[in-house]
Amino acid sequence: MARVVVDPVTRIEGHLRIEAEVDAGVVRDAWSSSTMFRGIELILKGRDPRDAWAFTQRICGVCTTVHAVASIRAVENAIGAAPPPNARLLRNLIIGAQAVQDHVIHFYHLHALDWVDIVSALAADPAKTSSLAQSISDWPLSSPTYFAGIRDRVKGFVDRGQLGPFANAYWGHPAYRLPPEANLMAVAHYLEALDWQREVIKMHAVLGGKNPHLQSFLVGGMATPVDPDSQAALNAGTIAELQRLVAKARDFVTRVYIPDLVAVASFYKDWAGHGRGVGNYLAYGEYPNDDSAAPALFLPRGVIRGRDLAAVEPFDPAKVTEYVAHSWYQYQQGDGAALHPYQGETSPAYTGPTPPYDLLGLDSDTDKKYSWLKSPRYDGLPMEVGPLARMLVAYASGHARVKALVGAVLTRLGVGPEALFSTLGRVAARGIETQVLAEKMADWVDGLAANMAAGDLRIHDNSKWDPASWPAEAMGAGFHEAPRGALGHWVSIRNGAIDNYQCVVPSTWNAGPRDAKGQRGPYEEALIGTPVADLGRPVEILRTVHSFDPCMACGVHVVDGRRREVAHVRVR
Amino acid sequence: MSEERTPLLVLGLGNVLLEDDGVGAAAVSLLLDRYDVPPEARVLDGGTLGLSLLPCLEGADAVILVDAVRADLAPGTFVRLDGDAVPPAVAGRLSPHQVGVADLLDGARWLGRYPRRLVLVGLVPASMDLAVGLSPAVRASLPELVERIAGEARALGVVFRPKTAGTEPAVGPHVDVARLARGQP
């Protein structure tokens, strides 16, 4: 019998690679590279624009909803379809549930491992852990017996070598600062969050059918029937179930996530001084409050330059462009050009080293191409997108609830607003946004119930469904705030078929390479000045990269000042 | 994603935009075309949703994962992994959100809801480049894979009965991405 070697099939949608140059324990320069071509645009050309969402929703494995939302909005914008109020409310709920679940998963299941030492939890005293937990929250799962049980469970997995998600981290690294009891509490909440997220995402099952991929999107509205008298539709029973799930989501966020966030952050306040980044922030805004063509948004749209919270600029879609000077693409008019997405071109031209390779061979003023991501710019400037951008734009725009929560967290940590422009600021902003959304979702459920009670069961505008009702040529843009930031789709339609399609995704804004002027992207800029205690275990670099919530698996390379590669780490 | 327990879950995995990586979705789609799903089974296209599939997985006593499997064998070759051989095979997988099948299985284990029986069946991919539809080698083996899934189910005590001739395959509204992965628009 022949021996069969079985490798994992690498489910890569883009593998992020960071090369960092470290001198005297500090990052001096950094390069962010995506090693996989994404060319969804090429798949969509010639297809029916009403089907585009079903393809784009598979771009990102976990955010199944976000590309669907951006896509239907872009096509609706192009053909002039106007979704009715129930469709808006259902979409807001789907988007909100996605964001809340995603943020909590990020905190507990990805980012926490950069701050929490799971193995140290084995040394914790359950009684002291209980006192700690009860000092920060009235969450009922906090007895010494409960924490002793969690500790024994972790010990069992460690003893059997089944560490699973915790297997490959840097346990014992000096950069971990939590006492054992805080670590044990965090592990307990890691497991509770795993259980909790199943409940939250049930909102999607309620709104989008039993299939794990939502099937209920439709250009012009939604495909979910709303009818209080039908068992097969969104009805009074569904409303009650949504209310239950929303309450459960809010309860955990308020009583576990936020107290944990503040508790962990209080041990890492120096991280308010690291990871500053480009200091320009872009938010498309999200959660329309009305059904007009330019609706008021619950989280506002806007641009902040140079960390100036005194002035939020209005967003002008014409100012979005993409460079390919350092990206493995060609532009017809030359690679120094900056193209608006409507004129966007996706012509791959790989010039990098043949894999596998150790280093990309870059220096600070490199003119090489080194990433499959383009470099999006707004008015020529790199922009950070994501929860921090959204919360800063909301804060600076006077959003009452955001201002109150930001103020409360800053006060609890004893830091000023300037602390927001940092790695820790990104972590805090994500939590604050989760709280704001978990509170807001109940309003959208109530809105649906009120419409039903008033007899408004409309869910779809089918006046533009027939392509015969479209102009021969149409263009549209769809803007959405995905959990990790501003997402835009631009579609050009000719004779009923897609002529051009461009997606500018959050991780392209944040993880993109330098542009034609040599300006670093947000990841690259944020890493400058990051301390690295142990070149072989660069957990500090991960903290800053993960604070952006990258949508790609990440490998990190550390290079010392003499350009010798000293560490090549594939991370979790 | 219901709460009820299911004796058997057939879960297709993979990304339909990456050519043969869509084999899990395509197999699930063809299985649904050819067979009636018995009440004690659920058949789902799980895509690359990772941890979000936990509610589906944990309600099942037995799970058949259907996926592309890289191996030193000709493209289209059938591969089967059983029980403890499954987690290592999916461990190195990188998912967009760094949460993949391995994390799904780990999560179920940590919560004490790991399936009683776990089998992974699949085909060796020829290509996982960006494209919709399967390569010829994998497409040719797809019917065999579907029969193997039905056979695995039978071995677990769940019988899928072939649809009677002339039954119309179920087609989703407007576009069915899983059918497209099979190369059938």
Give the E-state strand segments of A174-233 in sequence order: 217-218, 221-222
For B13: left if phi > 0, alpha if psi spans -120 to 50, otherwise beta; the answer is beta
Closest partner residue to A164 among B14, B68, B106, by Cβ? B106
Flag if B96 and A197 touch (Cβ within 8 Å): no
**Residue B70 is assigned to a structural domain of this protein:** yes
Residue B157 Cα, gap to closest chain A Cα (Å):
24
C-alpha B121, offset from chain centre: 8
Distance, in Å, from the CA atom of A180 to the CA atom of A117, rounded to the nearest integer, reads 8
Q: What does the pLDDT look like over B35-64, one tens digit per residue? A: 999 999 999 998 877 778 888 888 899 999
Question: CATH topology for A15-319+380-570?
Answer: Cytochrome-c3 Hydrogenase; chain B (1.10.645)
Closest partner residue to A11 among B69, B93, B109, by Cβ? B93
| Pairing of β B41-45 and β B6-12 | parallel
- pLDDT score recorded for residue A552: 66
Structure tokens at A59: 């771009």
- pLDDT score recorded for residue A310: 95
Structure tokens at A557: 């390379």
- pLDDT score recorded for residue A567: 52
C-alpha B90, offset from chain centre: 13
Evaluate whether A234 touches A458 at the Cβ level (below 8 Å).
no
Closest partner residue to A109 among B55, B95, B99, by Cβ? B99
In DSSP notation, A221-269 reads EES--B-TT-TTSB-HHHHHHHHHHHHHHHHHIIIIIHHHHHHHHHT-G
Structure tokens at A328: 């493995």
**Residue B132 is assigned to a structural domain of this protein:** yes
For chain B, how many structural domains are there in total? 1
Average pLDDT over residues B119-146: 92
- pLDDT score recorded for residue B94: 41
pLDDT surpassing 90 at residue B4: no
- Whole-model pTM? 0.92
**Residue B175 is assigned to a structural domain of this protein:** no
Give which of A303, A279, A327, A305 is closest to A516, Cα–Cα. Answer: A327
- pLDDT score recorded for residue A118: 83
Residue B185 Cα, gap to closest chain A Cα (Å):
11
Structural domain including B127 reads 6-167
- pLDDT score recorded for residue A231: 81
Single-letter residue type at A54: A
- pLDDT score recorded for residue A361: 79
Which of A44, A58, A201 has the highest number of chain B CBs within 10 A, making it the mutation to test binding with B? A58
Collect the ranges in chain A with pLDDT lower than 70.
1-14, 60-62, 164-169, 209-211, 552-572
Give which of A355, A391, A350 is closest to A372, Cα–Cα. Answer: A350
- pLDDT score recorded for residue B1: 42
Provide the pLDDT confidence category of residue B181 given band limits of 50, 70 and 90: low
- pLDDT score recorded for residue A79: 97
**Residue B182 is assigned to a structural domain of this protein:** no
Flag if B71 and A551 touch (Cβ within 8 Å): no
Closest partner residue to A37 among B92, B109, B130, by Cβ? B130
**Residue B54 is assigned to a structural domain of this protein:** yes
Q: Note if the bond before B88 is cis, omega within 30 degrees.
A: no
A139 by Cβ neighbours in 10 Å (0-12 / 13-18 / 19+) ranks as middle
Flag if B79 and A213 touch (Cβ within 8 Å): no
Which of B81, B94, B127 has the highest number of chain A CBs within 10 A, making it the mutation to test binding with A? B94
Hey, where are the domains in chain A?
15-319+380-570
Interface of B with A in 137-156 (CB under 8 A): none
List residues of A with catalytic annotation.
13, 60, 63, 67, 484, 507, 551, 554
- pLDDT score recorded for residue A550: 84
Tell me the three state secondary structure of residue A148: helix
Q: Is A469 in the B-facing interface, judged by CB distances under 8 Å? A: no
From residue A282, alpha-carbon distances to A308, A375, A388, A487, B179 in Å are 13, 14, 10, 11, 38
Q: Which domain CATH number covers B20?
A: 3.40.50.1450
Flag if B48 and A9 touch (Cβ within 8 Å): no
Evaluate whether B12 touches B46 at the Cβ level (below 8 Å).
yes
Q: Is B37 in the A-facing interface, judged by CB distances under 8 Å? A: no
What residues of chain A lie within 8 A of the CB of B70, using their CB?
A: 6-10
Q: Give phi and psi for A314, each to the nearest 5.
A: -65, 145
Single-letter residue type at A544: T
Number of residues in chain B: 185
Chain A's closest residue to B68, CA to CA, is A9
